[in-house]
């Protein structure tokens, strides 16, 4: 694993957005804005900026100018998890330097590598990370402890990104054959992760009492090899990598059980167990630099386009960041995802189902989440994403609106279990990338 934090320096264009469009704000939200906010309030910006974006930003308070004028270059520190498939929009953004096309010239991005969400949460709390990537579970916790909002989702899986992996010798000897065979046996999972939600959901549906142990994904790899745990609940690309190395088998995936919502939010659209990736932004930056928020979200959309239209090229860029993981594993797990950034009603209901579960489990426990449904709707603010999407659409660019929407698949084969052997002869290589015009 690389140990240095990579700092990439932007060398290309963009001052900031120039457009004015019809308002996305509801009358209620507009009523929260005491007075119209002009570009002059944002550190004496010399150029016009969307009044609509400024009105959204003004809901976070009066700007101070401490992060510069609109259009000024910035230094962003972004917390990301390169070893977790659902957040690979960030890895593509980092390695392909897509952000350079959108942020003001002279901007820098420092990428803070993390193996799980809590460390990113801590950095966001102290203002060290302006953006953070994680699953919906640590994201919801961040919504309680950090002044941040869910500004888009990175995408969603079709049920296969999360797995309950069982040590291969236990399966071969018949010690594990049914769900009850794991009763009171040691099972590892990172507490507070979406894999924790996965194993709890599976155990409840199968009426199994587990001996759950708080173990990072990396520790689970070792523990499964020496059988100090019988099973591990973990996320891609690790489960497929474990299979390829002959250490464990993906015994149960999210394809094999109803989602958390089935019990906690039955009115939500029916789907199997899913994970939604979260892009979080701290409110200081939502207030001060709406130009940066919108520009960064547009860069994310281009990353989703590459992941959707050219997964081999996307896999190459991901592999250059986590090169110890074989290319065949990276490419296989890309087929398990839909790279849709929209926070639709169906996504909101899924998140509310997750929040209800974690409130019951007391992972969410402050007054802020006392009403989980309201907590989720207050945590979501995709208005900047809507503006970013609108400008890209006006330019005739690809956006997430080309996709079928949560919880649907983009291709029928995505509903099947994938195997690394499909891509075992794959040779990844760099090649030119160009977004399309629709």
Domain residue ranges in the chain: 7-157+275-423, 162-264
Beta bridge partners of 155: 277
pLDDT band at 115 (very low <50, low <70, confident <90, very high): confident
Contact 156, 104 (CB under 8 A): no
Contact 139, 364 (CB under 8 A): no
Best CA proximity match to 280, nearest among 387, 182, 139:
139
The whole-number pLDDT of residue 376 equals 98
Count of CB atoms within 10 A of residue 291's CB? 30
pLDDT band at 141 (very low <50, low <70, confident <90, very high): very high
Contact 359, 373 (CB under 8 A): no
Best CA proximity match to 279, nearest among 345, 342, 330, 333:
342
Task: Give this prediction's pTM.
Answer: 0.88
Strands 108-113 and 148-157: unpaired
Range name among 111-115, 326-330, 349-353 with the lowest pLDDT average: 111-115
The whole-number pLDDT of residue 356 equals 98
pLDDT band at 174 (very low <50, low <70, confident <90, very high): very high
Report whether pLDDT(138) > 70.
Answer: yes
Contact 249, 243 (CB under 8 A): yes
- Tens digit of pLDDT for each residue in 361-370? 999 999 999 9
- Maximum C-alpha span of the chain: 72
Report whether pLDDT(12) > 70.
Answer: no
**3-state SS of the chain?**
CCCCCCEEECCCCCCCCCCCCCCCCCHHHHHCCCCCCCHHHCCCCCCCCCHHHHHHHHCCCCCCCCCCCCCCCCEEEEEECCCCHHHHHHHHHHHHCHHHHCCCCCCEEEEEECCCHHHHHHHHHCCCCCEEEEEHHHHHHHHHHCCEEEEEEEEEECCCCEEEEEEHHHHHCCCCCCHHHHCCCEEEECCCCHHHHHHHHHHHHHCCCCEEEECCHHHHHHHHHHCCCCEEEEECCHHHHHHHCCCEEEEEEHHHCECCHHHHCCCCCCCECCCEEEEEEEHHHHHHCHHHHHHHHHHHHHHHHHHHHCHHHHHHHHHHHCCCCCHHHHHHHHCCEECCCCCCHHHHHHHHHHHHHHHHCCCCCCHHHCCHHHHHHHHECCHHHHHHHHHHHHCCECCHHHCCCCCCCCCHHHHCCCCHHHHCCCCCCCCCCCCCEC
Contact 78, 132 (CB under 8 A): yes
The domains spanning 7-157+275-423 and 162-264 adopt the same CATH topology:
yes
Domain 7-157+275-423 part of CATH 3.40.50.2000 = no
Mean pLDDT of the chain: 89
Contact 140, 355 (CB under 8 A): yes
Count of CB atoms within 10 A of residue 145's CB? 14
The whole-number pLDDT of residue 367 equals 96
Best CA proximity match to 360, nearest among 162, 133, 204:
204
Task: Name, in order, each residue with C-beta under 8 angstroms of 310's C-beta and a sequence gap of 6 or more.
Answer: 433
Query: Domain spanning 162-264: which superfamily?
Result: Periplasmic binding protein-like II (3.40.190.10)
- For the record, the structure tokens of 202 come out as 């599976």
pLDDT band at 50 (very low <50, low <70, confident <90, very high): confident
The whole-number pLDDT of residue 198 equals 97
- Tens digit of pLDDT for each residue in 179-199? 999 999 999 999 999 999 999
- Tens digit of pLDDT for each residue in 281-320? 999 999 999 999 999 999 999 999 999 999 999 999 999 9
């Amino acid at each position: 694993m690389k140990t240095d934090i990579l700092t990439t320096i932007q060398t290309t264009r963009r001052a900031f957005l120039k457009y004015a469009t019809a308002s996305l704000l509801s009358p209620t939200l507009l009523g929260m804005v005491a007075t119209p906010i002009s570009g002059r309030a944002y550190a004496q910006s010399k150029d016009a900026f969307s009044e609509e974006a400024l009105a959204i930003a003004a809901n976070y308070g009066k700007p101070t100018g401490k992060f510069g004028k609109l259009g000024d270059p910035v230094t962003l520190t972004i917390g990301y998890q390169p070893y977790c498939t659902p957040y690979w929009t960030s890895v593509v953004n980092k390695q392909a330097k897509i952000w350079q096309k959108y942020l003001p010239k002279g901007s820098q991005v420092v990428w803070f590598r993390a193996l799980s969400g809590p460390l990113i949460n801590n950095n966001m709390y102290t203002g060290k990370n302006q953006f953070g990537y994680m699953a919906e579970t640590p994201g919801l916790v961040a919504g309680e402890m950090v002044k941040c909002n869910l500004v888009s989702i990175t995408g969603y899986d079709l049920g296969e990104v999360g797995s309950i992996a069982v040590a291969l010798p236990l399966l071969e000897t018949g010690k594990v054959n049914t769900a009850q065979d794991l009763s009171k046996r040691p099972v590892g999972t990172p507490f507070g992760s979406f894999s924790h939600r996965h194993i709890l959901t599976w155990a409840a549906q199968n009426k199994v009492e587990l001996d759950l142990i708080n173990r990072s994904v990396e520790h689970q790899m070792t523990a499964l090899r020496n059988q100090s745990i019988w099973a591990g609940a973990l996320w891609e690309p690790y489960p497929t990598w474990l299979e390829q190395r002959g250490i464990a088998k993906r015994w149960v995936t999210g394809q094999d059980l109803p989602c958390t919502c089935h019990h906690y939010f039955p009115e939500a659209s029916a789907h199997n167990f899913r994970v939604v990736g979260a892009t979080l932004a701290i409110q200081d930056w939502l207030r001060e630099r709406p130009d940066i928020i919108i520009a960064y979200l547009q860069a994310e959309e281009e990353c989703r386009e590459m992941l959707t239209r050219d997964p081999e090229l996307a896999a190459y860029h991901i592999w250059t960041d986590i090169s110890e993981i074989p290319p065949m594993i990276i490419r296989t797990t890309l087929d398990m995802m839909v790279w849709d950034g929209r926070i639709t009603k169906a996504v909101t209901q899924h998140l509310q189902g997750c929040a209800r579960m974690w409130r019951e489990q007391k992972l969410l426990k402050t007054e802020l989440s006392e009403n989980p449904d309201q907590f989720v709707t207050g945590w979501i603010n995709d208005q900047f994403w809507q503006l970013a999407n609108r400008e890209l659409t006006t330019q005739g660019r690809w956006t997430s609106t080309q996709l079928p929407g949560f919880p649907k698949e983009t291709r029928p084969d995505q509903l099947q279990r994938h195997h690394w052997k499909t891509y075992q002869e794959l040779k990844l290589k760099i090649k030119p990338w160009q977004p399309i015009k629709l």
